[in-house]
Amino acid sequence: MIDIKDLTIEKAHDALTKGEYTVRELCQAYLDVIKEKNPDINAYLEIFADVMDQADKAQDKFKNGTATLLTGIPLAMKDNMLIKGKHASAASKILEGYTASYTATALQNLIDQGVVFLGRTNMDEFAMGSSTQTSAYGVTRNPLDRERVPGGSSGGPAAAVAMYGALASLGSETCGSIRQPASFCGLVGFKPTYGAVSRSGIIAMGNSLDQVGPLAHTVRDAEIIHKALVSYDPELDGTTVPMEKRVPAPRTLTKKIAVPAECMKGEGIDTELHEAFLKSLDTFRAMGYTIETVSFPLMPYSLAVYYIVMPAEVSTNLERLDGIRYGYHAKEAKDLNEFYMKTRGEGFGRESRRRIILGSYVLSNDGEYYRRALRLRDAITKELDETFTKYDFVVTPVAPMLPFKLGEKLTDPVAMYLADVFSAPANLSGAPSIALPIGLTATGLPTAVQITAPRWEDDTLFAVGKEFERTNQSK
Amino acid sequence: MQLSDIKKLASTARISMSDEEAEGLAKDLDATLVYINQVNSAPLPPEEVVVPLNRNAVRDDVVSNPTGSVAADVFAQAPSQMDGFVKVKKIL
């Protein structure tokens, strides 16, 4: 009997190497959980038919001595990632029945090591949302409290891991979509430096913001997966950075942490969550850090800037979904224009339509909004860069609220958007950021803290994350 | 925002939309615009020509797939095709 609740990648690797169980047996343990829990939680949209074939290939690697840490590790992936020959829909009706004609570079990197992808998991449609309620294929429930949302947009990948239906998973993030669902499901979530991981084969939402990253039970698991995702992909992706240029700006570490004044005071933050956050600062103090309250004049504008840049990119990006080359298409239309109107009107869900229209608006009037947002984005990045010359990290809550009830906030878009208020600075500036679980509230809901570091200090984050994990556990 | 603004934007974006949805959207977008209008009061540093942090890298303009090697996979997704072309509805 495999104790999957106590499993990490290294433990599984050790057991597979020693032959305590086979890759098939490991995968079957997860498939059994999925069979029991998925009908209610709806984390997975599809379990791949070739799981056992993948398992056999991985087992061969153990036989011929080419196994790595990730060989045979059962993972879940988000429905916006392409594997040749498999369906991918970005949880949208407009991509219903679409079969990928190529494999995403980041996923290929993992496939080369022999991971097993169990299936594709639910998300907000085209990753637009913070609760996995905008999917065309039903909501996903939070395994820790099934009346609540798992967060989003990577709610499926988060729920899959939290219900022990995968050892870890791949999510993608445009603004908080890995970190926030990780925090809602009691997991570690990591958003890498922009340009670290290839975006080829990841269905784009906001091109200047999107990155792929892991959700896992431990920082070490997230680190192992992230390191395997990373590559320079000049042939297929224009945004990955050459390896030799992935060098952080030189700085002297100060053992000081910056906490924005609003987060210290708890403005707009759930009371219980804020208490947990303040307690987590004691863990940093126990690690030898000094906590200082810092006021950031521009950071509070981050989410507003994001809600200009993102819809602008969304509206241009989703232009390609026209029903001509792939995906859903209107059955009856008298001419090409009506065909487009109907295909897109029927195929896109409500939130996608809303953001496409918002994007069209912010790009109108000579792009006045958009240009102002770009200038602010640059200024926010500078503000953050300067902070990192004096402070090792910026620490905040992940989201301002605890996991909320299903159905909440759906009729108030701005209230939903606020779930990402602490996420935006890292996405706008390209900085790496990690969400770490810090314990449960009295009613059993997970709380979390977020650490952000300068660009290309992804490894520094894993180091501090692991130290935090150890210190927090031993307290 | 007026209903007519929404209808015009929807038409620009090639999205068919009922009047009822357009009315709901006008209200939602008004609330969103109130939020994003913050950027107009943000203290902006003086305008300078900045080189954006992110720039697109472009690969050499050479054929990297042998001709026809991926055509079948791509065509397999198109709803309508004829003689090696994707077929569209009449334009006029």
Of A325, A345, A353, the CB nearest to B86: A325
- Chain A partners of B82 at a C-beta cutoff of 8 Å? none
> Which of A408, A444, A423, A394 lies closest to A133 in space, CA to CA?
A408
**pLDDT higher than threshold 80 for residue B91:** no
- Are the C-beta atoms of residues A96 and A152 closer than 8 Å to each other? no
Q: What is the pLDDT of residue B89?
A: 82
Residue of B nearest to A355 (CA): B29
Backbone angles phi, psi at A138, to 5 degrees: 90, 160
- Provide the token pair at A465: 């994350």
Cis bond before residue A130 (omega within 30° of 0): no
Tally the residues of chain A. Answer: 475
CA dist., res. A187 & res. A181, Å (int) = 8
CA A247/CA A72 separation, integer angstroms: 32
Mean pLDDT on A300-319: 96
Give the per-residue pLDDT at B48.
Answer: 67
Closest to A211 in 3D by CA, of A226, A223, A222: A226
Q: Which residue of B has its CA nearest to A312?
A: B13
By Cβ distance, the residue of B17, B53, B91 closest to A430 is B53
Q: Chain-wide mean pLDDT for chain A?
A: 96
pLDDT > 80? residue B47: no
Of the candidates A326, A336, A362, the beta carbon closest to that of B77 is on A326
Chain A hits for B12, CB-CB cut-off 8 Å, are: 360
Return the DSSP state at A430.
T
Q: How far apart are CA A391 and CA B51, in angstroms?
A: 26
Total residues belonging to chain B: 92
Q: What's the gap in Å between the CA of A152 and the closest CA on chain B? A: 20
| Chain A residues touching residue B70 (CB < 8 angstroms) | 101-102
CA A82 to chain centre: 16
Residue B52 pLDDT greater than 80, yes or no: no
Contact A336 B57 (CB under 8 A): no
Q: What is the DSSP letter of A466?
A: H
Phi and psi of A367, rounded to 5°?
A: 65, 25
What pLDDT, in 10s, does the model give residues A172-220?
A: 999 999 999 999 999 999 999 999 999 999 999 999 999 999 999 999 9
Predicted confidence (pLDDT) at residue B92 exceeds the cutoff of 80: no
Nearest C-alpha in A relative to B32: A414
The answer to whether A90 and A124 have CB atoms below 8 angstroms apart is no
Q: Mean of the pLDDT values across residues A387-416?
A: 94
The chain B residue lying nearest A319, using CA atoms, is B13
What pLDDT sits at residue A296? 95
Determine the residue type at A216. A
Q: Which residues contact A443 (CB under 8 A, 6 or more apart)?
A: none
Looking up tokens 């200038």 gives A375
> Which CATH number is B3-41's, of 1.10.287, 1.10.20, 1.10.3210, 1.10.8?
1.10.20
Interchain contact, A354 vs B39, CB within 8 Å: no
* Domain range annotation of chain B: 3-41
Tally of CB atoms within 10 A around B40: 11
ipTM over 0.85: yes
Give every CB contact of residue A424 below 8 A, 6+ residues apart in sequence: A175, A176, A302, A303, A305, A306
Rg (CA), chain B: 23
CA distance B29 to chain A (A): 7
Q: Which of A301, A454, A335 is nearest to A385 (CA)?
A: A454
Which domains, from first to last, does chain A contain? Answer: 4-241 (3.90.1300.10), 256-304+369-474 (3.90.1300.10)
User: Tell me, what's the pLDDT at B49?
Assistant: 64
- Residue A89 tokens read as 């829909």
- DSSP letter at A202 equals B
pLDDT band at A366 (very low <50, low <70, confident <90, very high): confident
- pLDDT over 70 for what percent of chain A? 100
Which residue, among A94, A231, A306, A361, would best test binding to B if mutated, counting the most B CBs under 10 Å from its CB?
A361
In contact, A211 and A225? CB cutoff 8 Å: no
Q: Do B31 and A361 touch (CB under 8 A)?
A: no
A101/B25 touch (CB, cutoff 8 Å), yes or no:
no
Q: State how far Cα A421 lies from the chain centre.
A: 15
Kindly identify which residue of chain B lies nearest to residue A95, measuring between CA atoms: B77
Smallest Cβ–Cβ distance between B25 and the set A238, A298, A357 belongs to: A357
Helix axis angle, A368-390 to A350-363, nearest 10°: 100
* Calpha distance B50→A328 (Å, rounded): 41
CA B62 to chain A, closest CA, distance in angstroms equals 10
Tens of pLDDT, residues A63-94: 999 999 999 999 999 999 999 999 999 999 99
Two tokens, residue A423: 């996420």
- More confident position, A1 or A179: A179
pLDDT of B45 strictly over 80: no
| A273 closest CA partner among A283, A263, A282 | A263
* Exposed/middle/buried for residue B92 (C-beta within 10 Å: 0-12, 13-18, 19+): exposed
* Mean pLDDT of the B34-48 span: 86
The DSSP bridge pattern shows strands A446-452 and A393-397 to be: antiparallel
C-alpha pair distances (Å), A362 with each of A371, B21, B49 = 10, 20, 22
Task: Return the active site residues of A.
Answer: 78, 153, 177
For residues A458 and A136, what is the distance between their CA atoms, to the nearest angstrom?
34
CA dist A250 and A194 (Å) reads 18
For A376, which of B31, B35, B42 is closest by C-beta distance?
B42
> Pseudo-torsion of CA A89, A304, A275, A267, nearest 10°?
-150
Residues of B in contact with A346 (CB under 8 A): 16
Residues A204, A239 contacting (CB under 8 angstroms)? no
pLDDT at B51 over 70: no
